[in-house]
Amino acid sequence: MKWTKKAILCASEIQKAVETLNKLQSNAEYIKQAKIRNNPQNNLLEMEKFLNRSGLYFDQLDKLPVIHITGTNGKGTTCSYCENILRNHGYKTGFFSSPHLIEVRERIRLNGIPISQDDFAKHFWRIYNQLDKVKSASYDMPLYFRFLTLMALHIFLSAQVDVAILEVGIGGEYDCTNIVRKTLVAGITPLDIDHTLLLGNSIESIAWNKAGIMKPNAEVFCVQQPEAAMKVLKDRSKERKCNFHVVEDHYTYNKVSRIPLHVLRTNASLSLSISEAFMKLRPNHNKFNLEMAKQSIEHTQWPGRYEIIPRNNSVFYLDGAHTEDSMQVCSDWFLSKTGQDNRKRVLIFNVIGQRDPEKLLIILLKCDFDIAIFTTNNFDDDYLKNAVNKNTSDNKDVINPAPYHKERCSENAKVWQYLNSSATVHMFESFPQAVKFLENHTDTQFNVLVTGSIHLLGAALFVLDRTLKGLL
């Protein structure tokens, strides 16, 4: 590839922007102060402060037509279905999601496409410099996710989108995306036990937090939930004076799908209800067309979820499962795709943070892996020396040092050996090293399941498909 002077300057600007963005979660004094300021109840107060400092006020934000989606499993997929349906019906769409896989600009999309590197850098520096100019102390800047949320709202208003689809980060009640006061339509995907330090360790507590996105007079659609969770959701919908609807799995799909059918049916049914309701509230020149909507769903690409990528002597099966329910689905999906061939089965796994690896790994025992590989989400120096694109600043963990990742990798391996004493286990510092190990066995064919962490999938796709099927 021949780099022009303009392209080099653009790449340099976005790299500087990403590195500066990363400092919003890595500066030592900033982290110290953030722990004080990051009480969940203060989250929206902080968000409002930075919103106003950046030149954006509620009277402007209230004009943004919003679809807000929360849940535990499938919220990103449901958002992407809604985005594709509405775009194909002629709406100009904005879509904010998290986390990203390869590049941070994936999180902010216009008409389904991540904003360009040039636009990312331009908007980043405009907002960053404005906030930096009026800060009261060196640490008086928004946290990483708050900044990106703020940036997305600015971009969507500037672009005059017909609809802004916002995926909640964590929870709902105190999530910074909940700075939006007026929501036309909201959706709640299947709930599961996750992020317990922030949301509580009961399904009732998690449901209460997720229900925080309910707004007065909004149309709120929810899939079937455990009975205890559904009671909380219904009670909160009455408190919030919204119109609450329970969506049945009515979606039918006639083709062979790479996605497990019941998962597809649940997410698709919810997205159809949300999209149709939005079109009734904000009609354009098109009427809701069910067949067009179903085709939109069937053609939606959401990388890293039930994705299959062949490479040399291996076929990689990628899914970002990181809760017990989603791991059950992931393991069943892998078995359904690989059960009839003679390839050796390989697990590549990682999990960090507060999640308990044993609860996930015990589910994966039924896959009867021949080899289990435990690796970090990081990149090794040898790989980067020879990589075409050496910039991994979008994927760096700027909070946890490399020894932490190695230690967690070792702990995950020990859990697997405890669960399966006869297991063949390997540990590598990076996903590229794991791939190299498999490719060195040229006389062996492998089916490889990569799971446990969205961030691991980011590292995997950096190697297996750097363009995300042409999205980047």
Binding-site residues for Mg(2+) sit at 98, 167, 195
One-letter amino acid of 121: A
Q: Please report, for residues 88, 128, 219, the alpha-carbon distance to residue 15 in angstroms, rounded to integers and kept in the order given.
A: 33, 15, 40
d(CA 461, CA 280): 38
The annotated binding site for ATP is made up of 305, 319
Strands (E), 217-302: 219-223, 243-247
CA–CA gap between residue 50 and residue 217 (Å, rounded): 27
Sequence ranges of the binding site: 98, 167, 195, 305, 319
For 246, phi and psi rounded to 5 degrees?
-100, 125
Q: Sort residue 382 into left (φ over 0), alpha (ψ -120 to 50) or beta.
A: alpha
Contacts of residue 326, Cβ cutoff 8 Å, sequence gap at least 6: 73, 192, 319, 320
Strand 371-375 relative to strand 425-428: parallel, antiparallel, unpaired? parallel
- First-to-last alpha carbon distance for the chain, in angstroms, is 16
Query: Which phi and psi (to 5°) does residue 244 adopt?
Result: -100, 130
Q: Counting beta carbons within 10 angstroms of the beta carbon of residue 283, is it exposed (0 to 12), middle (13 to 18) or buried (19 or more)?
A: exposed
Closest CA to 346 of 439, 428, 457, 438: 438
